[in-house]
Chains A and B, each alone.
Chain A
């Protein structure tokens, strides 16, 4: 896999830009009313999906970390146990998305990557809630979470796919000419 060969300074600025996008989208996500507070659309995962084709492994982990911290800051949960859910969900989804993108790129578009990420995130968070919050009853909240995750991840995936195909900015970044 080839990565844009811009200078390290430009690259770290680029990670910061994607992290800032995640921060902004976390805010937008926070504004949208939801039946239960921990049900998420996952808007802030968009930079993580788009970053897949642009970042090295280390930069990608850094972006995931910045997303967790930014989201915790926005929602005010950074020093509470809720951040554990954010960490579990984000890292499960970034790991699976990275694996799917890295090894199955020929057969999967960003839509599939997005769905896989959403499912990983939901399963990780539901498993965690089984131990931290609800016990065996966590199974009962699984279906609505997974259905919402599937629908929202398809929409995000379609958006990311369109962005990847049509954005001149993205193309020039891939070529390393920024």
Chain B
């Protein structure tokens, strides 16, 4: 009875390569935190440890963000309610600020490490 042939092994190895490559997407989640900003239909990536400011235009005007000492906040925005400015500073992975009227979404990505003294619990 003929069973496994050379082509089978090649296809199997190729799919292992594909699976290995797909696991690469997890690697990007760890590492140093990055600020990712979605605006103007694109995505920008900033280093959280480099102090800088940036502006993004959206449907209602301009939204400016500031990165300072490993924290990021919205400096100014032309939106009406200023909820994004009121959100204040964010500094750890998983946190985000969104300005809905101006279509600006700011989030921090990186390895999520428990903050010293931080609370991260769920209760029922």
Contact = CB atoms under 8 A, between A and B. Distances in A.
B5 A108 contact: yes
Interface residues of B, number: 21
B15 interface: yes
A165 B6 contact: no
Contact of B15 (A100, A104, A119): A119
Main secondary structure of the interface of A (DSSP, over half): helix
Interface string B1-39: 111111111111011101100110110000000000000
Main secondary structure of the interface of B (DSSP, over half): helix
A107 B5 contact: yes
Interface in A140-172: 140, 142-143, 146-147, 150, 154, 161, 165
A4 interface: no
Interface of A: 100, 104, 107-109, 111-112, 115-116, 118-119, 123, 139-140, 142-143, 146-147, 150, 154, 161, 165
A162 B26 CA distance: 38
Contacts of B3: 109, 111, 161
Contact of A109 (B2, B19, B25): B2
B19 A147 contact: yes
Contact of A111 (B1, B4, B14, B16): B4
Given A112-B11, A115-B15, A116-B11, A143 B25 contact: yes
A123 B18 CA distance: 10
Contact of B11 (A115, A139, A146, A161): A115
21 contacts: A108-B5, A108-B7, A109-B2, A111-B8, A112-B5, A112-B9, A112-B10, A115-B11, A115-B15, A116-B15, A119-B14, A119-B15, A140-B25, A140-B26, A143-B26, A146-B15, A146-B18, A146-B19, A146-B22, A150-B12, A150-B19
